[in-house]
Amino acid sequence: MMDCYGREINYLRVSVTDRCNLRCQYCMPAEGIQDSGHERILTFEQIIRLVKLAAECGVRKVRFTGGEPLVRKDIVKLIEAVSSMPGMQDVSLTTNGICFADMADDLKRAGLVRVNFSLDSLHADRFRYITRLGNISDVWRSIEKALAIGMMPVKINTVVMKGVNDDEILDFARLAAEMPVHVRFIEFMPVGDLPFYQEERLVNMDEVKRTIKSSYQLLNGLAGRGNGPAKVYQIAGGKGTIGFISAMSNHFCGDCNRIRLTADGRLRSCLFDKREINVKAAMDRGTGDDRLAIMIRQAIREKPDRHHMEKGWGADNSRKMYQIGG
């Protein structure tokens, strides 16, 4: 379905939990989240019902995210159910990679064909510092397992932060040269207004690209299918690709095709727009499919033309990234 700016909205990001086995500095407070029980979160049946209705409104791609999607007990069943929905063309997963290796075979059997790992450092101690809890060896095991079972593509998302990991840009580029992985550099965003976000830490993607070009030859931008907002390049003689996601310096809202469903059942039509439609409350009240479909269409129609995050997150925008679903 088209939004009112003529964009075709066919992509739904579903946050299946706001819990996580890590506590990344830019995403979650150190103490984690308040555990206020399962009834807050969409049930398996509610997620399936909403995705089906969204598919009837034109959604063809679903990405499961969170929090950490792999800590949700029924994630394999969810992927299986959504993969087999008529008209669904693409089901994917964004994960921190801590548990992926052990679940990979089941996920593949359920229909998962591609996976994005979030990895901001290749150094064990720095990875631990950024994530507060993580062991990088778990992520490596998962990336290797994803490649071994033929996930295609295997993407690695890296948020570049000045003074934190910007000295590793060439190391990540080398990874994409030596392994068939697709590294995506992402600009740091003020989502959630956590103290770790500081404007001085923002690294413009032009700078990242310049650094890489000092050592690697990047070949023609690979536009289109499967690349979403990333500007993607092949590396001369390399096995993988490199992409740049410039959410801050050069926003791509004009090509946006997505809406989000939060773990607690709110439709959020834009990452940066605090307006949400509470479809969980509607379902809990016994609202019928017709009315729910109207709510989905309303979320699409009301999608703003672009973000204004150059002005910051906004004190009244109380959600954090782990709650919205990154």
At 273, the amino acid letter reads D
Least distance in angstroms from the C-beta of 294 to ligand SF4: 21
Task: Identify the sign of the CA torsion 23, 27, 32, 36.
Answer: negative
Name which of 61, 62, 135 is nearest 101 in CA terms: 135
Asked if 94 is part of the footprint of ligand SAM (rule: CB under 6 A), the reply reads yes
* CA atoms of 167 and 170, how far apart (whole Å): 8
Chain Cα centroid distance, residue 287: 29
Residue carrying structure tokens 């791609």? 61
DSSP code, position 161 = B
The minimum distance between CB 292 and ligand SAM, in angstroms, equals 25
Considering the complex, what minimum distance in angstroms separates the CB of residue 149 from ligand SAM? 19
Nearer to ligand SF4 by C-beta: 20 or 164?
A: 20
- Cβ(160)–Cβ(208) under 8 Å? yes
- Using rule CB under 6 A, residue 326 touches ligand SAM: yes
Nearest-angstrom CA–CA distance, 232 and 270: 23
To ligand SF4, the closest distance from the beta carbon of 268 in angstroms equals 9
Interatomic CA distance for residues 110 and 97, integer angstroms? 18
CB of 197 to ligand SAM, least distance (A): 6
Q: Does 65 bind ligand SAM (CB under 6 A)?
A: yes
The footprint of ligand SAM on residues 177-236 (CB under 6 A) is: 186, 188-189, 191, 197
Q: Which does 119 bind (CB under 5 to 8 A by kind): ligand SF4, ligand SAM, none?
A: none
| Cβ nearer to ligand SAM, comparing 11 with 216 | 11
Quick check: 157 binds ligand SAM (CB under 6 A)?
A: yes
Does 241 help bind ligand SAM (rule: CB under 6 A)?
no
Beta strand 90-95 with 114-118 is parallel
User: Which residue ranges make up the site for ligand SF4 (CB under 6 A)?
Assistant: 20, 22-24, 27-28, 66-68, 96, 118, 131, 251-253, 256, 258, 270-272, 306-307, 321-322
**Least Cβ distance, residue 14 to ligand SAM (angstroms):** 11
Task: Report, in Å, the least distance between residue 310 CB and ligand SAM.
Answer: 14
| One of 96, 121, 211, 323 touching ligand SAM (CB under 6 A) | 96
H runs (alpha helix) in the chain: 44-56, 75-83, 100-110, 124-131, 136-148, 169-178, 205-213, 279-284, 289-301, 321-324
Q: Which is nearer to ligand SF4, 81 or 119 (CB)?
A: 119
Is the bond leading into 153 cis (omega within 30 degrees of zero)? yes
Q: Which is nearer to ligand SAM, 27 or 59 (CB)?
A: 27
Told to check if 112 binds ligand SAM by CB under 6 A, we report no
- Minimum CB separation from ligand SF4 for residue 22, in Å? 4
Where are the alpha helices (H) located in 57-156, listed in sequence order?
A: 75-83, 100-110, 124-131, 136-148
- Count other C-beta atoms under 10 Å from residue 84's C-beta: 11
The Cα 14–Cα 148 span in angstroms is 27
User: Could you say which of 17, 95, 211, 227 contacts ligand SAM (CB under 6 A)?
Assistant: 95
- Please report whether residue 172 would count as binding ligand SAM according to CB under 6 A: no
Question: Are 193 and 316 spatial neighbours (Cβ–Cβ below 8 Å)?
Answer: no
Among ligand SF4, ligand SAM, none, residue 159 binds (CB under 5-8 Å by kind) = ligand SAM
φ and ψ at 40, to 5 degrees? -70, -30
Q: Considering CB distances under 5 to 8 angstroms, the limit depending on partner class, which of ligand SF4, ligand SAM, none binds residue 10?
A: none
Q: Which residues bind ligand SAM (CB under 6 A)?
A: 20, 26-27, 65-66, 68, 94-96, 118, 157, 159, 186, 188-189, 191, 197, 321-322, 326
